[in-house]
Amino acid sequence: MKQLENKKTLYSGVQPSGNITIGNYIGAIRQFTLLSDQYNCLFCVVDLHALTVRQIPAELRRNTLELFALYIAAGLDPQKNIIYCQSHVPEHAELTWILNCFTYMGELSRMTQFKDKSARNQDNLNAGLFTYPVLMASDILLYQTSLVPVGEDQRQHLEITRDIAERFNNIYGNVFVVPEAYIPKETSKILSLSDPLRKMSKSEPDGAVFLLDNADDIRRKIRRAVTDSDAEIRIDIENKPGVSNLLQIYSAFSGESTDEAIGRFEGQGYGQLKKGVADAVIAGVEPIQKRYQELIADKGMLHQQMMNNAERARQIAARTLRKVYKKVGLYQG
């Protein structure tokens, strides 16, 4: 399916490091399903990025296929969007080497995520961890991306991407689109159930509800969600972050406003609130789980869709890479 020239391109990538949380779904994927008519959307399973930490090969392969299936099950159409696997498009790695030569050591050493991950991975301080932002820049710039959905933890990576693109363009002309941050329409940030001062994260499974969790696990996790000693049910992010978080989760899955939710549970206590939240989440993920099981049961079909989407991505990426090679003087014949 040809990219439409009159549309801007939106790009997003997720590592295949396990299941997707309901926070990822509410804050990003569910909104992305509404963008296909407005943007050319690419959604990438960034398996090369995952190699900065040691992976169990069989698990990485399984997680990659499962994430691809979950993207589709959550509502992203692989015909309207390009949903593909990063390592299936070698232009990502090829452009990364070129852009490495236009990125400065000082820039990379100042990256907050590199500092944080270095502190946690003293036994595996590899060069890939250091140059991770350059690969991310290649992911984005290959597709002449205009918009990149980013949270605060990725904003610095987008800024270095912009710096690299502008540096290259200043030397060789307008080769790359300089991307902007895409800020989705306002949605409540879904926080950890065990620590409602932090974002819900798949690295903290006890505080996260995943799209593929069964009903019993969802009820158990929400039942254990941190609240407070004040029994009043209201939105108060500063003083009642746990209760506020539960109300926002309920609102996201039920379709009711938080004010309607407060009215529904007023005077019933936290036990009933948690039961209502669990019921709403279970009802919301059930069709996703059903569709996922249908997809994952036909791995041959999924593999073919993945290959077809990779070819679509390569057609776009190759055009950009040929232009870059010509600009820097690499002989192409």
For the chain, domain boundaries? 9-187+299-328, 205-293
User: Which regions of the chain are under pLDDT 70?
Assistant: 1-5, 114-122, 152-153, 184-188
- Using CB atoms within 10 A of its CB, is residue 67 exposed (0-12), middle (13-18) or buried (19+)? buried
The alpha carbon dihedral of 98, 99, 100, 105 has a sign of positive
Q: For 295-323, how does the pLDDT look when each residue is reduced to its tens digit (9 = 90+)?
A: 999 999 999 999 999 999 999 999 999 99
CB within 8 A of 224, min separation 6: which ones? 193, 194, 206
What pLDDT sits at residue 155? Answer: 82
Q: Do domains 9-187+299-328 and 205-293 have the same CATH topology?
A: no
Domain 9-187+299-328: top CATH class: alpha beta
* Cβ contact 51:7 at 8 Å: no
What pLDDT sits at residue 186? Answer: 55
Is 202 one of the annotated active-site residues of the chain?
yes
What is the pTM (predicted TM-score) of this model?
Answer: 0.89
Q: How far is CA 193 from the centre of its chain?
A: 20
Tokens of 13: 């990538």
85, containing H or E segment = strand 82-85
* 95/328 Cα distance (integer angstroms): 12
| Count of CB atoms situated within 10 Å of the CB of 326 | 13
The catalytically annotated residue of 7, 8, 80, 117 is 117
**Residue appearing with tokens 């509502």:** 75
DSSP H stretches of helix in the chain: 22-24, 30-32, 57-73, 91-100, 105-109, 112-120, 127-141, 155-172, 215-223, 241-254, 258-265, 269-296, 299-328
Kindly indicate whether the domain formed by 205-293 is annotated with CATH number 1.10.240.10: yes
What pLDDT sits at residue 5? Answer: 58
Give phi and psi for 111, each to the nearest 5: -70, 125
What pLDDT sits at residue 189? Answer: 80
The catalytically annotated residue of 199, 221, 240, 274 is 199
What pLDDT sits at residue 1? Answer: 43
Is 117 one of the annotated active-site residues of the chain?
yes
Amino acid sitting at position 209: V
**Residue appearing with tokens 């070129």:** 98
Is 199 one of the annotated active-site residues of the chain?
yes
The catalytically annotated residue of 7, 189, 202, 327 is 202
What pLDDT sits at residue 126? Answer: 84
